[in-house]
Amino acid sequence: MTPPTLRSKDLLGIEPLSPEEIALILDTAESMSSIGQREMKKVPALRGRMIVNLFFEASTRTRFSFETAEKWLSADSLNFAAKGSSVEKGESLLDTARNLQAMSPDLIVIRHGTPGVPHFLARNLKAGVVNAGDGAHEHPTQALLDAFTIREHKGTIEGLNVTILGDILYSRVARSNIWALTKLGAKVTLCGPSTLVPRVFEQMGCRVTYSVDEAIHDADIINLLRIQHERQRKTMFPSLGEYTSLFGLNKARLANTKPDALIMHPGPINRGVEIDSEIADCSRSLILEQVTNGLAVRMAVLFLVNGGKGPQEIEGG
């Protein structure tokens, strides 16, 4: 049965969520999705609540999506970027967060390059914490918006074949997607160079293959990931050209997939590397729809971690 609320004041990852909590977030997002279609894109759900967006790493989609979701829910937002802040004068993360806490925010949304930083803040602060990406660990709202997008197109996630293709090792999107998809009953296949897709991922319930044609042949969803150069400390494959020829998704490879297989990518995309430009822009690509759905999913998350009670409260109010 779908619970009426989330158990925690924080959303730190998908790993701690039950399938029922994931369903609650997706159902609430469905109710939120009409807000973006209205002329007046605003509901009073979080009026009087203060949310701090604390971004220590670059972001386009996640940051603007959270900021927009907060505005549409009528929350007051403060936006913090490490560049230009007192972090540059040597202030620690905890001192920065404690000073922000002194201004009584209800919620902190944080992206940080170090895994576990959102968990550290959640233990030390009264405010709720939402993880907007912590190193290569988790990116829970990305996995939720991906699941929402898949459910919207396929009706269900249970029983689907989902292939995640690319740099799995350094990807927080991959880890959060694996947790979400396996909890919801999908069969997950991982593919990429062996240095970036170690067999240890089989312990998370995934199939691992190094043949791209085998990975995509029966896939209902092909989720592509870019190479996370910023996290790799050594060369993981000979050249980008070789990566593209062995693992890039192009027209010839797509011809050997199910006709209704859909293409996803969390962005930013590197055209001509992991995905051909014409594939990124084709009718089977959901890439921009994922961005749109991110707004509804983040509104749902913000609403629920603030104590909201699921879709009936949105529809009733």
Nearer to ligand CP, 45 or 264 (CB): 264
Q: How far apart are CA 183 and CA 193, in angstroms?
A: 26
Find the shortest distance in angstroms from Cβ 61 to ligand CP.
4
Q: Please report whether residue 131 would count as binding ligand CP according to CB under 6 A.
A: no
DSSP state of 240: H
Binding of ligand CP by 156 (CB under 6 A): no
Is the omega angle on the peptide bond into residue 268 within 30 degrees of 0, that is, cis?
yes
- Is 267 a binding residue for ligand CP by CB under 6 A? The answer is yes
The correct pick among 2, 5, 61, 81 for binding ligand CP (CB under 6 A) is 61
Q: Does 142 bind ligand CP (CB under 6 A)?
A: yes
Q: Is 221 within 8 Å of 189 (Cβ atoms)?
A: no
The angle at the Cα of 265, spanning 252 to 36, to the nearest 5 degrees, equals 130
**Distance (Å, rounded) from C-alpha 20 to C-alpha 88?**
42
Query: Per rule CB under 6 A, is residue 13 in the interface with ligand CP?
Result: no
* Residue 173: both structure tokens together: 């999107």
- E runs forming strands in the chain: 50-55, 76-81, 107-112, 128-134, 161-165, 187-191, 207-209, 221-224, 262-264
- In sequence order, what are the residues at sequence separation of 6 or more whose Cβ sits closer than 8 angstroms to the Cβ of residue 308? 5, 28, 45, 314
Choose which of 34, 60, 156, 312 interacts with ligand CP (CB under 6 A): 60
Encoded one letter per residue, x for contact with ligand CP by CB under 6 A and - for no contact, window 81-100 reads --------------------
Segment lying near ligand CP (by CB under 6 A), choices 3-11, 58-66, 116-124, 182-190? 58-66
DSSP 231: G
Among 266, 308, 310, 311, binds ligand CP (CB under 6 A): 266
**Tokens 């044609």 map to which residue?**
213
C-alpha span between 160 and 32 (Å, rounded): 25
The answer to whether residue 193 forms part of the interface with ligand CP (CB under 6 A) is no
Which residues is 301 bridged to in the sheet?
A: none
Interface with ligand CP, residue 101, by CB under 6 A: no
When the beta carbons of 69 and 314 are compared against ligand CP, the nearer one is: 69
Shortest distance, position 225 Cβ to ligand CP, whole Å: 10
Report in angstroms the alpha-carbon separations of 10 from 115, 140, 303: 16, 11, 12
Using CB under 6 A as the binding rule, whether residue 62 contacts ligand CP is answered as: yes
Binding segment for ligand CP (CB under 6 A), chosen from 56-64, 88-96, 99-107, 118-126, is 56-64
Shortest approach of ligand CP to residue 172 CB, angstroms? 8
Total residues at the site for ligand CP (CB under 6 A)?
Answer: 11
Closest to ligand CP by CB, 27 vs 138, is 138
Which residue of this chain has its Cβ atom nearest to ligand CP in the complex?
62
Would you count residue 59 as binding ligand CP (CB under 6 A)?
Answer: yes
| Residue numbers at the binding site for ligand CP (CB under 6 A) | 59-63, 133, 139, 142, 266-268
